[in-house]
Structures are given as C-alpha cells and as structure tokens.
Structure 1
Amino acid sequence: MSSELVELLAHLTPSNKLWQQAKSLFVRNRVAPEAKIFASYLYAQGSSLRRLKELLHDLGVRVSHVGIWKWIQNLGRNLREKLFRRKRWRCLVVDETKIRTKRRWIFVFAAVDPENREIVNLLVTEHRETIDALGFLKRCLNYCNGKPVIVTDGGPWYYWPTRRLGLKHVVMCGGERNYIERWFETFKDRLRAFDCYFPTHGLESIKNFSAVFCFWYNKCRHHMSMKRPPSGGEGRFKTWLEVSS
C-alpha cells in the first residue's frame, strides 16, 4: 500500500482501534485491510468495480475488479445478521420493486420508518406472492417492539398477511409512501452503475450487496432534509468502520 493511501486513511480516521476492529472482517489480508474498507465505502457510494480497481492501482494497490467484488461479498455476509436494529416503530411504510438481473427479474421488499427515513428491513426474493409478503412482515416484526401500523400502496399480496399478523393496514397514495419510493429511487440509482442489470443471478450475491448498501444508507449517508444519517450519529467514513463491530 502506497504512502499516499496510508496518509489519506490516517487523515480520515486517526483512531488505530477502529482500524484494528475493521481488520477482523477479512480472513486473508494479502491486500491491506485498510484498502479493502476504503474501497468498499467508495463502492457503496456508487463507484464501479473497474473504476475502483484503477483508483487503487494509482494508490499502489494491485487488485482485480473480481477481487474487489469478493471483498464486498465478504462484507455483506458479515453485515446481514446485524444490519437492522430492534426498536419501537410507530409506523412502517412497506413496498416492493422489481430488479433485472443477468438472467431473470427478482423482487426487493423494503420497509422504511417515515419519521427517520431508516430502512427497517429488506428482503430479496424470486417472487411477489402473498407468502413472500407474509414472510417479510414477520421479519419486520422481529425488529419491532409492539405492532406498527403498516402503510402500503394497496398491493393485494399485503391484505391477508396483515390480517393474519393482526396489524393495522393503511392503504395510501403519496404522503408517507413517498419515503419508500424515494428510497427505491436511491437504490436503483446505485444499480445503474451496473449498466442495464444486476451482474449476477445469484440471490446470495444480491443479498450481500443489498446489506452493504443498506448499512451505508442507514448509518453513513446524510439525508438532505435531516442533515444526518437516518440512524443518527456522525455518519460518513468514520461510521463506516462500524461494519466490524
């Protein structure tokens, strides 16, 4: 790793303790873990794998774009089980969208807290059926103290699951539903770096990528209207190092 990159990372995060925690994420460290953490942060923000490869080459780190992709996947696997936090959510706005992959279309269910714009849960699945909506709402309840009001656009796959789980279901156009629509726009803006489709058909890879993106969105990205990340805190790169905690 070049002295320029070492100096840059030291300026971004002077705490050695944070770096030591971050190093534990990776089993093999032929490339310095600091470079891996830095590259994954830029990738979550929107940089492509090939652009990152060129940037790292300029900074003295020799790695292929496939190698960077493996770093992201490893990071996503570590994040998936500890990505979301349990809290008393008053209301959850739930929706789903369709994403094109290399060989097929998949569906992404998401739930957002309209007060803080925080993503409460996410589900990547092959189908958009009632059973998928039921499974997703159950996942959401695992992170809820109490039963929140569920706001949807009136998709028929939500009616029976909300009744089955004893949840108040409100159908809405506009209003608080705009928050989930904006999140999906942000998510799809990130996917446009992949040209016209997600460059894989494996659900596990997509789940890992989505976990990395959600962590960055909830904890690091400053929301324009709130001037802070949805989860609160300082955000940006220093918070990104919490991926190892």
Structure 2
Amino acid sequence: MLKVGSEYIWLWVAIEPENRQILALSVSKERNMFVAERYLSALVKVYGKRPVSTDRGTWYPMACQFLKLDHHIHSSLEKSLIERTMQYIKDRTESFDDYFPCKVKNCKLKHIRNWLNLFVEYHNKELKPVN
C-alpha cells in the first residue's frame, strides 16, 4: 500500500525471483480477487502460465484457481527478496509524491503510473550485467 496525495493505493508487482527484475507493475484503488485476476491475466498474456508465489493475501488463491495457475506461498528467501524490492519501490514512489504531490480530486493515477514505468525501466536496466 502507498499513500498518494490524501488517499492510499495498492501496488501490484511481479518480480522474477532469480534476477530480481520487475516483470510488471500496476496500481489500483482496490485490492480484491477481481483486481488480482486482471493483473495476473495480463502477466499470463505476456509470459505464459507460470507458477505464482505470493504472500498470504486471500485474493491470490482464487484468482490463480480461476486462471488455472499453480499457486504457492513464497519461501523465506523469496519473501526476503520480494520485501526488499517492494520497500525499494515504495520508498522511491513516496519520494516522488512528496516532490510532485497529486492535488487532483478523483485522480486516475496517470502520473504515478508514468513514474512507475520509468522506475521499472531504470531498475531493470541497472540489474542487467555489463558485457
């Protein structure tokens, strides 16, 4: 969860556990099985069906079942990698909102989505080994 302006939004992130690259990132004003299913469905379209490792969020198992995806709760190592990456993303996003606060009522979060897309490009580029 992130605070943007005066409201809280949910951050959805897919991380490749071996190289820590961010595969997809999205934000929503709600957190439920329908939002999870829509997010995972978009990932399946790009990457195909893969096992899904999540925290104990109750919305994931039903979304995975609906999409016929193998779901499991992530291991302690995966949890550590995910939590560090998530905190890194949250810190940068909250700093962005500090400098460029949203003052629009009923904001559609376009400025946050643009910032996050830029952040993902930079983050993934930094992780690629130099030849």
On whether the aligned pair clears a TM of 0.5, the verdict is yes
What stretches of structure 1 move > 2 A for 4+ residues in a row? 191-198, 232-235
Q: Determine if contact 1:152/1:172 at 8 Å carries over to the other structure.
A: yes
Q: Determine if contact 1:100/1:198 at 8 Å carries over to the other structure.
A: no
User: How many pairs does the alignment contain?
Assistant: 127
CA RMSD in angstroms, aligned pairs only? 2.1
Structure with greater contact order relative to length (CA < 8 Å, sep ≥ 6): 2
1:156 aligns with 2:62: no
**Residues 37-78 of structure 1: per-residue CA shift (max 9 Å, x gap):** xxxxxxxxxxxxxxxxxxxxxxxxxxxxxxxxxxxxxxxxxx
Distance in 2 separating the partners of 1:129 and 1:120: 21
Query: Paired residue for 2:30?
Result: 127
Query: Paired residue for 1:136?
Result: 39
Distance in 1 separating the partners of 2:69 and 2:59: 14
1:209 aligns with 2:115: yes
Query: Paired residue for 1:99?
Result: 2
Unaligned runs of 5+ in 1: 1-97, 222-228, 236-245
Query: Paired residue for 2:84?
Result: 182
Q: TM-score, normalised by structure 1?
A: 0.48
Instruction: Summarize the Cα distance change of 1:113–1:157 in structure 2 as closer, same or farther, 3 Å threshold.
Output: same
Q: Determine if contact 2:52/2:72 at 8 Å carries over to the other structure.
A: yes
Query: Paired residue for 1:36?
Result: none
User: Shift of residue 189 of structure 1?
Assistant: 2.3
User: Shift of residue 172 of structure 1?
Assistant: 2.7
Instruction: Summarize the Cα distance change of 1:125–1:195 in structure 2 as closer, same or farther, 3 Å threshold.
Output: closer
User: Shift of residue 122 of structure 1?
Assistant: 1.0
Amino acid at match of 2:114: N
Q: Determine if contact 2:93/2:116 at 8 Å carries over to the other structure.
A: no
Paired-residue identity, %: 31
Distance in 2 separating the partners of 1:192 and 1:168: 33
SS of the equivalent of 2:11 reads strand
SS of the equivalent of 1:128 reads coil
Unaligned runs of 5+ in 2: none
Amino acid at match of 1:136: Y
Distance in 1 separating the partners of 2:14 and 2:22: 6
User: Which structure has the larger Rg over C-alpha atoms?
Assistant: 1
Q: Determine if contact 1:150/1:169 at 8 Å carries over to the other structure.
A: yes
User: Shift of residue 196 of structure 1?
Assistant: 5.8
Q: TM-score, normalised by structure 2?
A: 0.86
User: Shift of residue 103 of structure 1?
Assistant: 2.3
1:234 aligns with 2:123: no
Amino acid at match of 2:109: L
